[in-house]
Amino acid sequence: MTTVTTNKSEPGTTTSSGADLHLQNISKRFVDFTAVDDLTLTVPSGTFFALLGPSGCGKTTTLRMIAGLEQPTSGSISIGGQDVTKLPSFQRQVNTVFQSYALFPHMSVLDNVAFGLKRKRVKDTLQRAKAALAMVELEHMASRKPTQLSGGQQQRVALARALVNRPAVLLLDEPLGALDMKLRRQMQVELKSIQTEVGLTFIHVTHDQEEAMTMADTVAVMNKGKIEQMGAPRDLYELPKTAFVANFLGKSNLMYGTVLEDLGDAVAVDASGHRLVMPKNRAVAHSGAAVVGVRPEKMRVMTLEAEYSPSANMLTGTVLDASFTGVSTEYLVDVPGIGTLATFSQNMGQAPAQRGETVRMTWEPEFSFGLDGNEKATEGKDAL
């Protein structure tokens, strides 16, 4: 799968590496429904960009507008600095790996892959198509019809059919959605390595947060037609700016409170009688109502007797549920006034806390993050 070097050495392929993609105030309204709402977005050339969001949030619609298959209601799209908003899809240097693959059933696998090259009238069409098939390890399937392939193989053909054209921007609409977990993980690694080697701009749409985080250089979390937050996977995970991002990208414990005092670099929040500290540069609001968040793995669970750093945030609660998973024990702890928090402790040989036991949970203030006090703490929690 990583024999891309043979393609790279081909003449003419280096001329069409990725291009910047820019969406300016893009909206798409269907009769009475706004699928994409005033989206502005820049994807630098050569980036692996993931568009992450629950189903129905407008990811496919966004891709279709970039591909030219859907006309935006307002706004403009440019690729490599050229405004393509009015350009029909067949004139855009963009290719799509469709969610349903959309392979031509009346053509062989090889003809499917060669289709775009033939339209562009490039030389040695078949050679290039064969090389692209070799890249996805399907050269022995060249003369088959798409219906004679498995789902995973069809997915690879769809990928080869798009990649072989070396588009300025490659759009992938949940391309791994139909694959089983094992193949999915394998294809994630392969897709990432193909992208690294060909250096094209990839826009990868997914509703799988783990997939987005492992593959992408930049992740944009999308919700209800808008981008909630965008950034490097680690930045997004460590410092979510909205409850939706905090819950959709991994798990978070979110606690309502009111800012009590200004500590200079940090603020102290009163959350139902508990004093919690968070750094100002990690908080959206520095006064009034606020939501304090912390990731479960940043918390330490300990007995009431154990010592802890005096600067740490500390909560005491009753274990509602403790499930031993081997590497760790996952806890649900009820804290009076705050509610149920999730946390876990790595298995270092200590005896796990039992259900009904009272435990102390601590975390360093720098791991706290602060959200707007008006956020709904459950936003995005069960979104898929």
Partner 1 sequence: MTATATRRGDKKKQKLEDPRSTEEISAERRKGRMGLYLILPGMIVLALFFAAPVLVLLSMSLNAKPPGGEIGEFVPALEFGNYVTVISAYWDVFLRSFIFALIATVAALVIGFPMAYLVAVRLRGRQLLQGILLVLLIAPFFSSFILRTQAWKQILSDEGPVVTVLRAIAILPADGHLTATAFAVVCGLTYNFLPFMTLPIYANLDRLDTNLLEASGDLYASPLTTFFKVTLPLSAPGIFAGTLLTFIPAAGDYVNAALLGNNRDTAMIGQVIDSRFFKIVDYPGASALSFILMILILALVLIYIKRFGTKELF
**Residue 61 near ligand ADP by CB under 6 A:** yes
8 Å CB contact between 117 and 164: yes
The CA distances from residue 81 to 21, 23, 84, 116, in Å, are 8, 11, 9, 23
**Residue 129 near ligand ADP by CB under 6 A:** no
Binds partner 1 (CB under 8 A): choice among 19, 23, 94, 212: 94
Tokens of 42: 């820049």
Q: Which segments within the chain are labelled E, that is strand?
A: 21-30, 33-43, 48-52, 74-79, 82-83, 94-97, 169-173, 201-206, 218-223, 226-231, 253-262, 266-271, 274-279, 289-294, 300-302, 313-324, 328-335, 339-346, 358-363, 369-372
Q: How far apart are CA 240 and CA 220, in angstroms?
A: 12
**Residue 55 near ligand ADP by CB under 6 A:** yes
Binds partner 1 (CB under 8 A): choice among 7, 165, 223, 313: 165
Q: Among partner 1, Mg ion, ligand ADP, none, what does residue 94 contact (CB within 5–8 Å per kind)?
A: partner 1
- Name which of 24 and 89 has its Cβ closer to partner 1: 89
Candidates 6-14, 52-60, 82-90, 268-276; binding stretch for ligand ADP (CB under 6 A): 52-60
- Name which of 162 and 216 has its Cβ closer to partner 1: 162
- Name which of 35 and 110 has its Cβ closer to ligand ADP: 35
Task: Show the CA angle centred on residue 98, arms to residues 177 and 165, nearest 5°.
Answer: 125
Binds ligand ADP (CB under 6 A): choice among 4, 23, 52, 57: 57
Site string for Mg ion, 46-65 (x = CB under 5 A): --------------x-----
Minimum Å gap between C-beta 91 and ligand ADP is 22
8 Å CB contact between 103 and 111: no
Residues of span 160-219 touching ligand ADP by CB under 6 A: none
Which residue bears the tokens 């360093």?
A: 364
**Residue 41 near ligand ADP by CB under 6 A:** no
Q: What DSSP line would sit under 312-365, residue for residue?
A: SEEEEEEEEEEEE-SSEEEEEEEETTTEEEEEEEE-SSPPPPPTT-EEEEEE-G
SS3 content of the chain, % helix, strand, coil (to 5): 30, 35, 40
Minimum Å gap between C-beta 202 and Mg ion is 17
Binds partner 1 (CB under 8 A): choice among 4, 67, 169, 276: 67
Which residue bears the tokens 């905090």?
A: 246
**Residue 71 near ligand ADP by CB under 6 A:** no
- Please work out the total of residues on this chain that contact ligand ADP, with binding judged by CB under 6 A: 11
Binds partner 1 (CB under 8 A): choice among 27, 44, 69, 381: 69
Give me the residues that bind partner 1 (CB under 8 A), please: 67-69, 88-91, 94-96, 98, 100, 102-106, 115-116, 119-120, 145, 147, 161-162, 165
Give me the residues that bind ligand ADP (CB under 6 A), please: 30, 33, 35, 53, 55-61
